[in-house]
Chain A
């Protein structure tokens, strides 16, 4: 086989890995949409906020230091200690739990029975609020996120596959961070599926997703479910924030990873956890293979974003609810 074939395989594998990274973001959207019918515009910002909080705890940064210094004329920035990563993750998780509680208490509680568009608008407001609040709390500088996951091409894979394509082939390049992300995503999805299928809370969550009114009538607390689902989405946002933040630092652009999740959602459906995964994989492989075979050699490159949305739109034409989404029939 010529080296070009193996490079094609390499691009395919990297597309799968990229797809997993997109799925991690899409999962957060699916969880909230499934349970409450809200398209959470703030999901990207949640990933950014979670990652900023994690770095803040890791580095012992004083929250709102700039504000404190401006008001009291002090010069404080750090507590003077650093926190072990595992503990910092737990604290960041706690912060996302608090965030979920506050979102329910301050926003959603007041919007029960409102139109989905009103709830969507509320999440837009939430996103902008979180954007400024995060900067005020942790600063807007680029932060390095290191949770101990190694980065870079995996030596072992490279060395043991280099023989395949002759001298022109240097072995398969797979980023170790992406391999970790894949394993974590698989564990996350299995856990979420098990949680929603086999636990009482998970069943309540599905009941709310199916019919709010019916769920309320059998005594399920809608507000409690909302806190749980936003907390889980916060946890997923933290995982996505860690993986993406480790790649390019924690900064505002991290929130734009949501743009990568949209075609995944259009393709996989807004209500399906497996859909988010399969959609992510199709988008990841599709855009990378298109760039490799057509985009870079024939169209000058940078076709990935365009191709992802075009592919999603094509799916929309034939299957508007997405691959795994539920077909919604509304009778007049």
Chain B
């Protein structure tokens, strides 16, 4: 009798904690612990708060509640794959792993399982070729767009001529950090600058050798592909050797408040790429306050609201949920499947009017996705840190990047992937 009661009780409990099957499931592979938590937490908070906003204010999407689940990866690839395997059975519509290493592992798995991946600004750059990567999307920007945006910015500062200039890349010695190298090498050939490569091992707390080398070689510009503690350490070391901060440009993963605040005034003038606007001066924040923060539904303690990575979490969640909304429209049903989601992501487009209606006017560029192009518009902006005001300021519009170089590299890399994995091109 006791055993029977136990089984019934356990079954009831399981039914209660399991999501209703009609819910729209959005898993989030987060890292709230470990060496990269300082970056992972604000992003995860922004993502979770956007999902909470839709549930609290709108009752979900198209009448379906959002089932938001987090799984902790610690930015560790093995744990990320475990998270994917543990959550894919929940009806997960899309994965945003927030890690290039995890993305590389999930590309074949997710494709085989028919679940789309959205890796905005990270992951495998050549996944922008939708003819080869049917389930992988990396809009609105990718690493090669980032590398080209840095060079274009430097070109704009030098009247279009950077022949003979010395540019150093300080990068996280991982799959992520190595991504821009090929593009920079191609751009080196095209524009005649001299590129030097300076890898920094995980976690990046000790960079004396790299910055002594920079001091010796005196590059005109330094660009950085860093993450976690590597970013503030590099910015501090740059300030220590009195490298001109306005000539130091990080990728969008090296341009958050946590990267510059530890260096104090030394970080003043440091630049980074941006794929969206910064700050909390957007109408969505009034809604977040009313429907999420004031109701005690916020994922964090509120200290990261308006920060770069919090806004990126909002943006990532917005792109995923708007694709789900489109999927409902395209499929004619509220309870969409991952396949519906993938189809919608391929037909996705967003413009200024839509973003303004979502409370995010002038936040990010308009773009559309197609079967061939999963990578978006190839635009990036530059932001600069004001240490006195403790805020980032956008100092450029979203600038065009070198599509000629980037598209050739994407075609080459994706063709190699297709040959290796015997993938037949689609979109014909």
Query: Is A248 touching B301 in the complex (CB atoms < 8 A)?
Result: no
Query: Is A139 touching B203 in the complex (CB atoms < 8 A)?
Result: no
List which B291-341 residues lie within 8 A (CB) of chain A: 296, 301, 303-304
Q: A161 at the A/B interface (Cβ < 8 Å)?
A: no
- Selected from B32, B200, B239, the residue in CB contact (under 8 A) with A302 is B200
Complex Cα–Cα for A263 and B108 (A): 39
Which residues of the partner chain A approach B232 to less than 8 Å between Cβ atoms? 142, 248-249
Complex Cα–Cα for A201 and B359 (A): 66
Query: Is A142 touching B261 in the complex (CB atoms < 8 A)?
Result: yes
Query: Is A144 touching B264 in the complex (CB atoms < 8 A)?
Result: yes
**B253 vs chain A, min Cβ distance (A):** 15
**DSSP class of A's interface residues: helix, strand, loop or mixed?**
helix
Query: Is A18 touching B206 in the complex (CB atoms < 8 A)?
Result: yes
- Selected from A14, A131, A295, the residue in CB contact (under 8 A) with B33 is A131
Knowing A140-B41, A170-B215, A288-B209 are in contact, say whether A304-B201 is a contact too (CB < 8 A). Answer: yes
Complex Cα–Cα for A153 and B241 (A): 6
Q: A206 at the A/B interface (Cβ < 8 Å)?
A: no
Complex Cα–Cα for A139 and B330 (A): 44
Query: Is A248 touching B205 in the complex (CB atoms < 8 A)?
Result: yes
Which residues of the partner chain B approach A295 to less than 8 Å between Cβ atoms? 209
Q: B242 at the A/B interface (Cβ < 8 Å)?
A: yes
Query: Is B38 touching A140 in the complex (CB atoms < 8 A)?
Result: yes
Knowing A14-B212, A251-B258 are in contact, say whether A139-B201 is a contact too (CB < 8 A). Answer: no
**A35 vs chain B, min Cβ distance (A):** 28
Query: Is B212 touching A11 in the complex (CB atoms < 8 A)?
Result: yes
**B245 vs chain A, min Cβ distance (A):** 13
- Selected from A132, A135, A144, A151, the residue in CB contact (under 8 A) with B261 is A144
Which residues of the partner chain A approach B236 to less than 8 Å between Cβ atoms? 151, 247-248
Q: B361 at the A/B interface (Cβ < 8 Å)?
A: no
Interface size class of B (residues with CB under 8 A): 35 or more
List which A136-163 residues lie within 8 A (CB) of chain B: 139-146, 151-153
Query: Is A151 touching B209 in the complex (CB atoms < 8 A)?
Result: no
Q: A29 at the A/B interface (Cβ < 8 Å)?
A: no
Which residues of the partner chain B approach A139 to less than 8 Å between Cβ atoms? 301, 303
**B157 vs chain A, min Cβ distance (A):** 24
Knowing A247-B233, A301-B198, A301-B199 are in contact, say whether A141-B240 is a contact too (CB < 8 A). Answer: no
Complex Cα–Cα for A260 and B34 (A): 17
Q: A212 at the A/B interface (Cβ < 8 Å)?
A: no
Complex Cα–Cα for A18 and B173 (A): 21
Which residues of the partner chain B approach A291 to less than 8 Å between Cβ atoms? 209
List which B215-236 residues lie within 8 A (CB) of chain A: 215-216, 228-229, 232-233, 236
Query: Is B206 touching A292 in the complex (CB atoms < 8 A)?
Result: no
- Selected from B32, B206, B262, the residue in CB contact (under 8 A) with A260 is B206
Q: B394 at the A/B interface (Cβ < 8 Å)?
A: no
Contact flags (1/0) for B264-294 with A, using CB distance below 8 Å? 1010000000000000000000000000000
Q: B247 at the A/B interface (Cβ < 8 Å)?
A: no
Which residues of the partner chain A approach B173 to less than 8 Å between Cβ atoms? 302
- Selected from B37, B197, B205, the residue in CB contact (under 8 A) with A301 is B197
Query: Is A256 touching B240 in the complex (CB atoms < 8 A)?
Result: no
Query: Is B258 touching A141 in the complex (CB atoms < 8 A)?
Result: yes
Which residues of the partner chain A approach B240 to less than 8 Å between Cβ atoms? 151-153, 175
Q: A253 at the A/B interface (Cβ < 8 Å)?
A: yes
- Selected from B33, B212, B233, the residue in CB contact (under 8 A) with A248 is B233
User: Which of A65-73, A79-87, A111-119, A221-229 sits within the interface?
Assistant: A65-73
- Selected from A10, A253, A302, the residue in CB contact (under 8 A) with B228 is A253
Query: Is A249 touching B229 in the complex (CB atoms < 8 A)?
Result: yes
Query: Is B205 touching A173 in the complex (CB atoms < 8 A)?
Result: no
Q: B182 at the A/B interface (Cβ < 8 Å)?
A: no
Complex Cα–Cα for A251 and B31 (A): 14
Query: Is B242 touching A153 in the complex (CB atoms < 8 A)?
Result: yes
Q: B56 at the A/B interface (Cβ < 8 Å)?
A: no
Nearest residue, chain A, Cβ from B218: A170
Which residues of the partner chain B approach A131 to less than 8 Å between Cβ atoms? 33
Q: B109 at the A/B interface (Cβ < 8 Å)?
A: no
Q: B208 at the A/B interface (Cβ < 8 Å)?
A: yes
Complex Cα–Cα for A151 and B263 (A): 10
Complex Cα–Cα for A73 and B215 (A): 51
- Selected from B41, B206, B212, the residue in CB contact (under 8 A) with A304 is B206
Complex Cα–Cα for A170 and B215 (A): 9
Complex Cα–Cα for A34 and B198 (A): 39
Which residues of the partner chain B approach A65 to less than 8 Å between Cβ atoms? 301
**B393 vs chain A, min Cβ distance (A):** 20
Complex Cα–Cα for A206 and B215 (A): 46
**A167 vs chain B, min Cβ distance (A):** 12
Nearest residue, chain A, Cβ from B177: A302
Q: A33 at the A/B interface (Cβ < 8 Å)?
A: no
Please give the residue numbers on chain B whose beta carbons come within 8 Å of chain A beta carbons, in ascending order: 32-35, 37-38, 41, 173, 197-201, 203-206, 208-210, 212-213, 215-216, 228-229, 232-233, 236, 239-242, 258, 261-262, 264, 266, 296, 301, 303-304
Please give the residue numbers on chain A whose beta carbons come within 8 Å of chain B beta carbons, in ascending order: 7, 10-11, 14, 18, 65-66, 69-70, 73, 77, 131-132, 135, 139-146, 151-153, 170, 173, 175, 244, 247-254, 256-257, 260, 288, 291-292, 295-296, 300-302, 304-305
Given contacts A11-B209, A251-B37, 14 further A-B contacts (CB under 8 A): A66-B301, A77-B303, A135-B33, A145-B262, A152-B240, A153-B241, A170-B215, A173-B212, A173-B215, A253-B204, A260-B205, A288-B208, A301-B210, A304-B206
The 9 closest A-B pairs by CB, nearest first: A249-B262, A253-B229, A302-B199, A142-B258, A248-B233, A66-B301, A152-B240, A291-B209, A253-B35
User: Can you list 22 residue pairs at the A/B interface with Cβ under 8 Å?
Assistant: A69-B301, A135-B33, A139-B301, A142-B261, A144-B262, A151-B266, A153-B241, A153-B242, A170-B215, A175-B208, A247-B236, A249-B229, A249-B262, A251-B229, A252-B37, A253-B205, A253-B228, A291-B209, A292-B209, A301-B199, A301-B210, A304-B206
